[in-house]
């Protein structure tokens, strides 16, 4: 039987089974490889260079979380994943979206799906994902605008014509949250296959009044057209409805000392029950065509269309508590958003030798058209404060439109890259990207005010890789990126912003990678990221930004991933970061702890029984950019997680994951000085997986 691996992800560990592990070998049919992995260790990636490149030959820091580790740790969200990726800080995202900080740069838009921009504000699921890649450092050559501190790329599961496989899983935790998912791979003859992934989640946690549900379905069909040509079509529907929860406020400690998160209210809801809500409906269609034009020239095109309809209603703490039993100021608004994304990306990869010099030449084009509509209505509360000594929730009504904007973004990019091999020991990666970014929009409140701006930027990338032996690489790299003044989400631009140049990001990095064995790797990176003409959210006005000038983040990353022994797998890392305003050491960037450490282990006693143990440590961090002595500081914390695995048979597996085993009281993330999320107390999740 012919095997079909469309844009192969190696399909290693679907929840409950490895659907296409037999297709992991090279059958000569693979066109675009988006990454292979064995256990916790990934071997290569397409995302970092848009070509199939071993990670040891990529001149930047890359962390890959494989499907096997996603399952072992029972990870359910991007936030769960990223807490175990040092150098990446999870943000609260106002309780309605994924938001991260990478190398001191905060973003809600630097997310990608199979290398294509996925920049809408929502919570991303993992039910149909093969692996999550965290690429650090700004590389506009590959990603285009944004990507200021790096990007998060999700790699989608794909069909295989190898065999019929059916897998499913179900889990429940001690808060009452539960979920079920299914994964079906069905050959449609020898040259086509169909894959269906689906999930349902009933959401709950330790916080008062929190609940919700999410369900999604993703059919995907793939066809081998013959002659080296393959095509795929994927559709995903996502429904997400949950309580919007922005955590707890801060409280003053002493004069001219940082505020701290309000303690003693781990479960208290600082909103209005029945009012705080966020909902999303999304339709995402992805089509892909790949072909071999000649023996050494490959072509691929991906087209993605997404329609997203989202709203979120917030009542939240808008000031520090006046005392442990005092009052907290409240504010509120409702914010509906609509977005339609159309993005097309096409690439040519040419392998050619010029004498003794090998070249892998990438040439690509990208076009995008993004329509956005955003409104905001501010709320009027029957009582604008919450009394901590006697909590009575106010009522709220929403008034006339305070913001009503529409915008259209069109962008065009052309890029070229050459991976040059000077024999066995020296590689050079060079490339340039041209971006044209045009935004046109209208503020429709009162007298309509049009706004527009066009930016044209050229972004370079240079990397040098020295390999004293095949298993060791020492690299240095230089790269740039930019962010237009419309920001992540194109909501509006003031007259002042229209006249400001884009923000610029420049990254310098040196590092080393060593494959100690084929199944064990260690990496080290030293980096410096400079941001010029920088802006940041105003800690005193949640709807505004402030100019801060130039910032610099310096740091070190160290990671070890793979098998220590045949029965012991590990994934761990440490990051040191120093992120501040250049020329003013007092001003520190938001949500950048100086020290982060994460370590996950799995040890199998035999084929049936195994255990897992994880530790996450994060030093203290400022909830917002520190501009005053009282800027809120989140204290450091250490969290311990554990797991027990039992394989009842080749078809049935069970596991129990315990989060926060030592019941540490901590604050996991923040949005600003007074929206801070308390970490969950000790809780357990029981999971069962079955395969046929």
Question: Three-class SS string for 250-289?
Answer: EECCCCCCCCEECCCCCCCCCCCCCCCEEEEEEEEEEEEE
Query: Looking at residue 70, what is its pLDDT?
Result: 97
Query: Looking at residue 549, what is its pLDDT?
Result: 78
Query: Looking at residue 546, what is its pLDDT?
Result: 58
Give 536's Cβ-side CA count (13 Å radius). 26
Cβ atoms 658, 630 nearer than 8 A: no
At 297, list the tokens.
Answer: 């020239």
Taking the domains of the chain in order of start, what are their residue ranges? 21-691
Cβ atoms 155, 132 nearer than 8 A: yes
**Residue with the two structure tokens 């003044």:** 485
> β-strand 111-113 against 150-156: which pairing, if any?
parallel
The separation between the first and the last C-alpha atoms of the chain, rounded to the nearest angstrom, is 20
Query: Looking at residue 535, what is its pLDDT?
Result: 65
Residue 277: closest CA among 249, 308, 246, 248: 246
Angle at 637 between CA 137 and CA 319, to 5 degrees: 85
Distance CA 672, CA 676 (A): 7
Distance CA 536, CA 295 (A): 49
At 285, list the tokens.
Answer: 């269609």
Query: Looking at residue 23, what is its pLDDT?
Result: 32
**pLDDT tens, residue by residue, 241-297:** 999 999 999 999 988 899 999 999 999 999 999 999 999 999 999 999 999 999 999
Query: Looking at residue 22, what is its pLDDT?
Result: 32
Query: Looking at residue 48, what is its pLDDT?
Result: 86
Distance CA 206, CA 665 (A): 13
**Residue with the two structure tokens 């081998």:** 224
Task: Tell me the backbone φ, ψ of residue 24, rounded to 5 degrees.
Answer: -75, -20
Cβ atoms 603, 594 nearer than 8 A: no
Report the predicted TM-score, pTM, of the whole model to 2 decimal places: 0.92
Give 449's Cβ-side CA count (13 Å radius). 10
**Residue with the two structure tokens 């009582």:** 383
Contacts 24+ apart (CB under 8 A), 388-391: 388/265, 388/321, 388/323, 388/324, 388/325, 388/326, 388/327, 388/328, 389/325, 389/326, 391/268
Q: Where are the alpha helices (DSSP H) in 317-374?
A: none
Distance CA 306, CA 220 (A): 16
- What are the E-state strand segments in 382-448? 385-387, 396-422, 426-443
- For residue 633, give the H/E element and its range: strand 633-634
Superfamily designation of domain 21-691: TonB-dependent receptor, beta-barrel domain (2.40.170.20)
Query: Looking at residue 4, what is its pLDDT?
Result: 37
Q: Which residues of the chain register pLDDT less than 70? A: 1-35, 535-548
Distance CA 228, CA 283 (A): 30
Contacts of 75 (CB under 8 A, 6+ apart): 65, 69, 81, 126
């Amino acid at each position: 039987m012919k095997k079909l691996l469309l844009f192969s992800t190696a399909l290693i560990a679907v929840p409950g089974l490895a659907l296409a592990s037999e297709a992991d070998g090279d059958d000569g049919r693979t066109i675009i490889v988006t990454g292979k992995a064995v256990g916790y260790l990934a071997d290569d990636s397409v995302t970092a260079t848009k070509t199939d490149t071993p990670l040891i030959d990529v001149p930047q820091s890359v962390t890959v979380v494989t499907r096997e580790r996603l399952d072992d740790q029972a990870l359910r969200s991007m936030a769960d994943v990223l807490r175990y990726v040092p150098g990446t800080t999870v943000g609260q995202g106002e309780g309605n979206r994924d938001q991260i900080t990478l190398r001191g740069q905060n973003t809600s838009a630097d997310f990608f799906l199979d290398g294509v921009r996925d920049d809408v504000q929502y919570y991303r699921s993992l039910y149909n994902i093969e692996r999550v890649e965290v690429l650090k450092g700004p590389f506009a050559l590959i990603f285009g605008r944004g990507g200021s501190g790096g990007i998060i790329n999700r790699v989608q599961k794909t069909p295989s014509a190898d065999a019929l496989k059916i897998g499913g899983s179900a889990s429940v935790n001690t808060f009452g949250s539960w979920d079920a998912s299914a994964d079906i791979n069905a050959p449609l003859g020898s040259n086509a296959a169909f894959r269906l992934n689906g999930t349902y989640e009933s959401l709950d946690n330790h916080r008062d009044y929190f609940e919700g549900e999410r369900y999604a379905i993703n059919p995907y069909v793939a066809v081998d057209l013959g002659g080296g040509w393959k095509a795929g079509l994927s559709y995903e529907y996502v429904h997400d409805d949950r309580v919007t929860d922005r955590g707890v406020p801060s409280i003053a400690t002493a004069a001219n000392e940082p505020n701290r998160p309000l303690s003693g209210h781990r479960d208290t809801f600082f909103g209005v029950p029945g009012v705080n809500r966020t909902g999303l409906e999304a339709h995402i269609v992805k089509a892909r065509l790949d072909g071999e034009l000649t023996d050494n020239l490959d072509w691929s095109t991906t087209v993605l269309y997404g329609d997203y309809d989202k709203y979120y209603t917030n009542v939240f703490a808008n000031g520090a508590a006046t005392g442990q039993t005092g009052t907290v100021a409240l504010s509120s608004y409702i914010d509906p958003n609509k977005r339609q994304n159309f993005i097309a990306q096409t690439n040519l990869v040419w392998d050619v030798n010029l004498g003794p010099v090998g070249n892998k030449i990438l040439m690509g084009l990208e076009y995008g058209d993004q329509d956005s509509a955003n409104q905001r209505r501010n709320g009027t509360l029957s009582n604008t404060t919450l009394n901590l000594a006697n909590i009575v929730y106010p009522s709220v009504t929403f008034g006339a439109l305070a913001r009503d904007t529409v915008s259209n973004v069109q962008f065009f990019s052309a890029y070229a890259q050459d991976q040059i091999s000077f024999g066995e020991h020296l590689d050079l990666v060079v490339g340039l990207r041209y971006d044209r970014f045009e935004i046109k929009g209208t503020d429709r409140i009162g007298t309509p005010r049009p706004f527009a701006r066009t930016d044209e930027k050229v972004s370079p990338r240079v990397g040098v890789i020295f390999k004293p032996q095949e298993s060791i690489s020492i690299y240095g790299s230089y790269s740039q990126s930019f962010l237009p003044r419309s920001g992540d989400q194109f909501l509006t631009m003031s007259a002042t912003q229209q006249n400001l140049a884009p923000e610029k990001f420049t990254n310098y990095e040196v590092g080393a990678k060593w494959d100690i064995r084929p199944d064990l790797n260690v990496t080290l990176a030293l980096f410096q990221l400079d941001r010029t003409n920088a802006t940041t959210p105003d800690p005193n006005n949640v709807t505004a930004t402030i100019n801060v000038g130039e910032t610099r983040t310096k740091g070190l990353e160290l990671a070890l991933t793979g098998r220590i022994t045949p029965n012991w797998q590990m994934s761990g890392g440490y990051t040191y970061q120093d992120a501040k305003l250049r020329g003013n050491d007092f001003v520190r960037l938001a949500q950048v702890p100086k020290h982060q450490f994460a370590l996950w282990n799995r040890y199998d006693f035999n084929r049936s029984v195994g255990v897992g143990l994880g530790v996450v440590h994060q030093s203290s961090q400022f909830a917002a950019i520190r501009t005053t002595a009282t800027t809120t500081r989140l204290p450091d914390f250490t969290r311990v997680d554990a797991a027990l695995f039992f394989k009842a048979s080749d078809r049935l597996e069970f596991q129990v994951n315990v989060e926060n085993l030592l019941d540490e009281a901590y604050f996991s993330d923040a949005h600003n000085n007074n929206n801070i999320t308390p970490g969950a107390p000790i809780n357990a999740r029981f999971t069962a997986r079955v395969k046929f």
